Amino acid sequence: MFVSGRELLAGVALDWAFGDPPWLPHPVRGIGWMAVQAEKLWRATGLPLAVAGVGFWLSVVGLTAVLVWATVFLGGMWARIYWIYTLLAARDLDVQAGRVVKALRRNNLTLAREKLSCTLGRDTAALSEAEILRATLETVAENLSDGVVAPLFYLALAGPVGMAAYKAVNTLDSMVGYRNQRYKEFGWASARLDDVANFVPARLTAVLIWLVAMLPGFHAWQSMRVTFRDGASQPSPNAGFPEAAVAGALRVQLGGLNFYQGVPSAKPTLGDAVIPLSCEAFKKVRLLLYASEAVCVAAIAGCLPWL
């Protein structure tokens, strides 16, 4: 069940225009609800936690794929447009990050920290303005891959079913892919399979950023150099590539020390601090976000039928 070029453009246009309004049921919330129920069921089986975690992953991803296939089978073009629209996150990512930067422009650090805490898992209560900006740019860069390029990549490979299956994979990693006592074994499969699913999209995102960084005001060569130098330095096998590409394109430094529930986590830095972090960097990262998506969409649409 593949899509046409006009369906792809319609879905992207709806995302750019409306984002994720709170009144519209969102697929990720549905996947999250299924995951909570499935975790209870699989833990109750008494199977070894690693085995139960594989069953959990298969059941949630499989059920997501089946449900989307059924809706597309019944709803045709309109269902395909709906899934493309709701499974892309460019506008919502822009809006969420923009609220943080807006608070900073008003010199309201408390509000900026509060808004930032809604978008990531690290501790935000003691962050300085520069640290808030760093976290915001990192979030946009990583989610450009997870929330935009990767869904489009799997849409191109397997239509809305592939796109939705990827979002299920990504959602399960965010819910159970932790190395703590509760999820170290149960969430192992979800974490590793998310790494596999994002391997190509993360690197494709970096390439898209390089292309966009050829525009005036960016630094394409620096983006490429920093990606090759620093992209593989992070604990995550994938997140460092888009983050390094953004850091190089803006000539800023990302990465470094974060705290998670009071526990320090020191990560290697990405890029060189040629330009200090400021709110002006957000204007440029917004352009990278939308322009990278536009290039990706144009490449996919050019390979699709239009009727």
In a domain, 269, yes or no: yes
In a domain, 296, yes or no: yes
In a domain, 186, yes or no: yes
Domain count, the chain: 1
280-301 helix and 129-144 helix, angle to the nearest 10 degrees? 0
Evaluate whether 88 touches 145 at the Cβ level (below 8 Å): no
Q: Measured between alpha carbons, how far is 213 from 252 in angstroms, rounded to an integer?
A: 14
Half-sphere exposure of 210 (CA within 13 A, CB side): 16
Domain that holds residue 265: 5-301
What tokens does 131 get? Answer: 């640290």
Which pLDDT belongs to residue 307? 60
Read off the pTM.
0.95
The one-character DSSP state at 138 is H
Q: Measured between alpha carbons, how far is 140 from 121 in angstroms, rounded to an integer?
A: 14
In a domain, 306, yes or no: no
In a domain, 171, yes or no: yes
CA distances from 250 to 21, 23, 85, 146, 254 (A): 31, 36, 29, 21, 10
Half-sphere exposure of 39 (CA within 13 A, CB side): 17
Q: b vs e for 184-197, b when ≥16 Cβ sit within 10 Å of the residue's Cβ?
A: eebbbbbbebbbeb
In a domain, 37, yes or no: yes
In a domain, 307, yes or no: no
Which pLDDT belongs to residue 1? 58
One pLDDT digit (tens) per residue for the chain, 307 residues = 589 999 999 999 999 999 998 888 889 999 999 999 999 999 999 999 999 999 999 999 999 999 999 999 999 999 999 999 999 999 999 999 999 999 999 999 999 999 998 888 788 888 999 999 999 999 999 999 999 999 999 999 999 999 999 999 999 999 999 888 899 999 999 999 999 999 999 999 999 999 999 999 999 999 999 999 999 999 999 999 999 999 999 999 999 988 877 778 889 999 999 999 999 999 999 999 999 999 999 999 988 887 6
Q: Measured between alpha carbons, how far is 209 from 204 in angstroms, rounded to an integer?
A: 9
In a domain, 42, yes or no: yes
Q: Which residues pair with 257 in a beta bridge?
A: 266
Which pLDDT belongs to residue 119? 82
Which pLDDT belongs to residue 304? 85
Determine how many CB atoms are found less than 10 A away from the CB of residue 255. Answer: 21
